[in-house]
Amino acid sequence: MKKHTLVVVAVAVALGMSGCSGTSNVAAGGDSVDSVTIGSIHPLSGSLSGVGGLMNAGAKMAVADINEAGGIESLGGATLVLNEGDSQGKAEIGQSEAQRLISEGAVALIGTYQSDVTQNVASVAERAKVPLVIDVAVDDKILEQGYSYSFRIQPDATSMGASGARSLIAMGEATGTEIDTVAYIHIEGAFGGSVFEAFKTEAEATGITVADEITYSGANFSDATTQVTQALASDPDVIVVTGYFPDNLLIAEAVNALKPDIKAVFGIASGAYDDNSFPAAAGEAASNILSANYHYSATSDRVADIRTRFEAANGESMETASMLSYQAVEVIAAALEESGSVDPEVLRDAISALSLTDPLLEFNGPIEFDENGQNINATVVVMQVQDGAVEQVFPTEIATKEAILPAFSR
């Protein structure tokens, strides 16, 4: 009988632990107009914790700036509170974090950097009727579910892949560089796959052959020589690359080591090639690499001020992803100001009707969302690493340097 009891107690106690996840700051936010809680979800641990942490810092800075400027006036100067969630880079953790943040009183969410995590968070937002402002996540499909509570500031995959292809072609024509064949290396998963599909459709429509599609797994990726060698087998004019920072860095290094006879390495939505830490990280391998991506405005004073303060506070350069997190908080703040309500459903309508001028990114106009929640003025620019710095090179109106194409003289 004693044995009985012990087993029962042990099992019950152990299983009981499953419920004891500590949740602390339940008091934050809620219906009080003293403060308004925004939930953020980014990969704060795991292999993407570098960029995730910086995005979180960007959002935090936006909250601090808005509070310093008097908070939300239409809510009697209510201050913003950022409740930070960690997706660990996993879709199911992102989902449970979203549920936690909402149950702790978040009236809106921002996040999440990865397409699959965002997918799950968007479904949580939809079911809980709490708006989600996507800072970074490229996959078209996220907004194709017919959800009405998800909004995206950055361009989607189709738009990035297609305008990446158009930019490449236009730059080739402008510089008299013949581009007939490309090989495409991209990360496995929704992000790489969707950008690739859009690029391929657009490129093939204009007569460019996509000779090879090479995919790699982001996990445990430690050398790209195999992938680059495989890409070179089709004798391409250009290698196009889509992926995150560590893997794209390896690809650049492998290209540099092999010194192939190609005209350019062209990143589309690459997490590395327009990152300010890339030239230093890759050294010689970074030289003249092109990148079509959404980008913070390199010509705006407001952006320059934010970036300077960010760097002073965090000791690291503020990249476009962090800028988008900052921007996402601004979008929510503007909608709160507009609606004067902390009701998430009213807030949703306000975001949907928003026209936010002076965006922090190099966009075609103010931030406005279409019926799917996509920012209609989001666009990409082409950058190039020149003399150890990332320069805007295309379109020429916003260029800080002239493009070098062919990028390599071999």
Partner 1 sequence: MTALGVAAPERLADLKRRLPTGARLHFSVLALVLVVMAFLPLVVPESALPVAIRTLVFAIMAVGWNLMSGYGGMFSFGHAAFFGVGAYTNAYLLTAFGVSPWIGMIVGAGLSAGVGVLIAYLCLKYKLAGSYFALATFAFAQMFLLVTLNMEFLNKSEGINIPLLPEESWSMLQFDQGSLYYYWIPLVLLGVAVAVSISFVYSRPGQFAQAIRDDPTAAESLGIKVMKYRLIPVALSCAVTAVAGAFYTQYYLFIGPDQAFGLHVSTDAIIPAVIGGIGTIWGPLIGAAVIGPLSAVVAGFLRDPPPFLEFLYGTSGLDIAIYAILLILIVVFLPKGIYGTIRERRRK
* Binding positions for partner 1, 69-98, rule CB under 8 A: 84, 86, 88, 90-93, 95-96
- Contact pick of 6, 27, 174, 304 for partner 1 (by CB under 8 A): 6
Among the listed residues 99, 225, 276, 300, the single contact to partner 1 using CB under 8 A: 99
Question: Which uninterrupted H or E stretch holds 293?
Answer: strand 290-293
Tokens found for residue 386: 């020149």
Residue 139 binds partner 1, judged by CB under 8 A? yes
Please tell me the distance from the alpha carbon of residue 92 to that of residue 123, in angstroms, as a whole number. Answer: 12
Residue 116 within binding range of partner 1, rule CB under 8 A: yes
**Is 235 a residue that touches partner 1 (CB under 8 A)?**
no
148 binds partner 1 (CB under 8 A): no
Which DSSP letter does residue 87 get?
A: -
Chain centroid to CA 216: how far?
A: 20
Q: Is 85 helix (H, G, I), strand (E, B) or coil?
A: strand
Is the Cα torsion angle 150, 294, 193, 85 positive or negative in sign? negative
Q: Is 209 in the site for partner 1 (CB under 8 A)?
A: no
Q: Which of 30, 79, 126, 352 binds partner 1 (CB under 8 A)?
A: 126
Question: Is residue 230 a contact point for partner 1 (CB under 8 A)?
Answer: no
The residue from 26, 27, 174, 313 that contacts partner 1 (CB under 8 A) is 26
Contact with partner 1 (CB under 8 A): which of 80, 82, 138, 190?
Answer: 190
Backbone angles phi, psi at 72, to 5 degrees: -95, 105
Q: Does 112 bind partner 1 (CB under 8 A)?
A: no
Q: Sheet harboring 150-152: ordered strands across?
A: 79-86, 35-42, 108-111, 132-134, 150-152
| Rounded least distance, CB 97 to partner 1, Å | 8
Taking CB under 8 A as the criterion, the residue among 189, 246, 366, 395 binding partner 1 is 189
Q: Rounded CA gap, 241 and 254, in Å?
A: 13
Which residues from 375-404 bind partner 1, rule CB under 8 A? none
Residue appearing with tokens 């700036």: 65
Q: How far is CA 338 from CA 82, 128, 334, 342, 358, in A?
A: 20, 22, 6, 11, 16
The pair of structure tokens assigned to 190 is 């929704």
Could you say which of 166, 181, 188, 401 contacts partner 1 (CB under 8 A)? 188
CA dist., res. 106 & res. 250, Å (int):
39
Element (H, E) at 333: helix 320-339
- Give the x-and-dash track for 251-290 against partner 1 (CB under 8 A): ----------------------------------------
Of residues 139 and 156, the one with the C-beta less far from partner 1:
139
Using the contact rule CB under 8 A, the part of the chain among 117-125, 222-230, 267-275, 364-372 near partner 1 is 117-125
312 interacts with partner 1 by CB under 8 A: no
Q: Is 27 in the site for partner 1 (CB under 8 A)?
A: no
Q: Which of these segments, 41-49, 268-276, 285-293, 402-410, binds partner 1 (CB under 8 A)? A: 41-49
Give every strand in the sheet of 290-293, ordered side by side: 209-216, 181-187, 238-242, 264-268, 290-293, 381-386, 389-394
What is the binding site for partner 1 (CB under 8 A)? 3-4, 6-8, 10-12, 14-26, 44-46, 49, 53, 84, 86, 88, 90-93, 95-96, 99-100, 103-104, 116, 119-120, 123-124, 126-128, 139, 141, 145, 188-190, 192-194, 215, 219
